[in-house]
């Protein structure tokens, strides 16, 4: 008897086909995708839903909350695991946001495709089958939300999209995949510690606005000065190197810290923000001493999501700092 896996299809490249007006756009439903992969029947008993079809870049917080509820309902009614199929533009964000709220022991697996359904070498069918195998696998239990593409199994907290077009676009910089899908089975070799996530209430269908500001050569700080008056409730600073900014940004950042939480992240894909190595004005030691909060090992866009969730829950500065420290 096969385990049951529930597949939730949201759209993305995996559902896209050529349009008469040019280009590809979401066209295929979940039922279409499942019917196109007969091998799924040998992996699990499949149920499927298509709550909406949108590109990954157009997904919203309320839609992800809906997906979270649908996935929770599926495992509560007996599914061994859930697969979410979506556009790859935001998989590294949506998977992390889902992971913050996923308390079930059963796996939630996010997948997609880098090539449209009609393209030579389309990878969607293989990715859907691999994700389903992982969702049905006992080895995936207790791992939280996983991302599966190109036969690699990644932790949602660590995975990033690293290429705009290759099927091997997803990686976990500095860590690597937790395992692989090989010979029709999920082989998971690593099980990273999952930080305790802040609770996301069921009514968290939208989140407070948090800005990301990327620091570049010669930045004079005018964007930092403007942000507190634009309605944002928090800021993630995408700093240089190990957490550094031009000296001209120090005063604007300290002023911003007096009005909202400011999280210090880095634009470098691999590695964490430093804590106590550099001591010049605008260094990580200087900025942390002025009230910025280290993002630890989280990328800027994931730090934005965690900060938004914490602000939604009314966390104070110490609670925010503690939550990010757990992701260090």
Q: How far is CA 327 from CA 53, 298, 302, in A?
A: 33, 7, 11
> What is the length of the chain?
328
How would DSSP label each residue in 151-202? TEEEETTT-EE--SS-TT-EE-TTT--SEEEETTEEEE------PPPPP--T
Q: How far is CA 154 from CA 25, 169, 224, 233, in A?
A: 27, 12, 34, 31
Respond yes or no: is residue 13 known to be catalytic: yes
Half-sphere exposure of 73 (CA within 13 A, CB side): 11
All residues at 6 or more sequence positions from 315 whose CB lies less than 8 Å from its CB, including other chains: 198, 323
The stretches of the chain forming alpha helices (DSSP H) are 30-35, 61-76, 91-101, 124-136, 222-226, 250-257, 284-289, 300-312, 317-325
d(CA 143, CA 3): 18
Residue given tokens 């050569």 in the structure block: 217
DSSP code, position 269: S
Here the tokens at position 146 are 């996983």
Angle at 77 between CA 75 and CA 80, to 5 degrees: 40
Here the tokens at position 181 are 């899908």
Question: 10 Å Cβ neighbour count for 145?
Answer: 26
Catalytic residue among 13, 50, 88, 90: 13
Which of the residues are catalytic? 13
């Amino acid at each position: 008897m096969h385990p049951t896996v529930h597949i939730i299809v949201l759209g993305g490249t995996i559902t896209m086909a050529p349009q008469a007006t040019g280009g590809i756009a979401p066209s295929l439903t979940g039922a279409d995708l499942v019917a196109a992969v007969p091998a799924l029947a040998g992996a699990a008993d499949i149920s499927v839903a298509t709550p909406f079809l949108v590109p990954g870049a157009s997904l919203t917080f309320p839609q992800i909350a809906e997906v979270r509820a649908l996935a929770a309902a599926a495992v509560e009614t007996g599914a061994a695991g859930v697969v979410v199929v979506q556009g790859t533009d935001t998989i590294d964000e949506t998977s992390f946001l889902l992971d913050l709220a996923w308390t079930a022991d059963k796996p939630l697996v996010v997948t997609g495709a880098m090539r449209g359904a009609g393209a030579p070498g389309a990878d969607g069918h293989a990715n859907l089958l691999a994700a389903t195998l992982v969702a049905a696998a006992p080895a995936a239990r207790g791992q939280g939300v996983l991302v599966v593409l190109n036969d690699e199994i990644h932790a949602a907290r660590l995975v990033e999209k690293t290429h705009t077009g290759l099927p091997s676009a997803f990686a976990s910089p500095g860590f690597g995949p937790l395992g692989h899908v090989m010979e029709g089975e999920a082989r998971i070799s690593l099980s990273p510690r999952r930080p305790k996530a802040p609770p996301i209430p069921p009514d968290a269908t939208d989140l407070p606005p948090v800005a990301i500001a990327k620091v570049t050569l010669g930045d004079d700080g005018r964007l930092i000065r403007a942000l507190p008056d634009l309605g944002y409730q928090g800021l993630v600073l995408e700093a240089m190197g190990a957490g550094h900014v031009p000296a001209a940004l120090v005063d604007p950042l300290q002023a911003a810290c007096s009005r909202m939480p400011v999280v210090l992240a880095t634009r470098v894909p691999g590695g964490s923000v430093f804590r106590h190595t550099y001591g010049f004005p605008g260094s990580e030691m200087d900025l942390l001493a002025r009230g910025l909060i280290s993002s630890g090992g989280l990328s800027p866009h994931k730090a934005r999501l965690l900060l938004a969730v914490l602000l939604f829950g009314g966390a104070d500065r110490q609670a925010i700092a503690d939550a990010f420290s757990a992701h260090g």
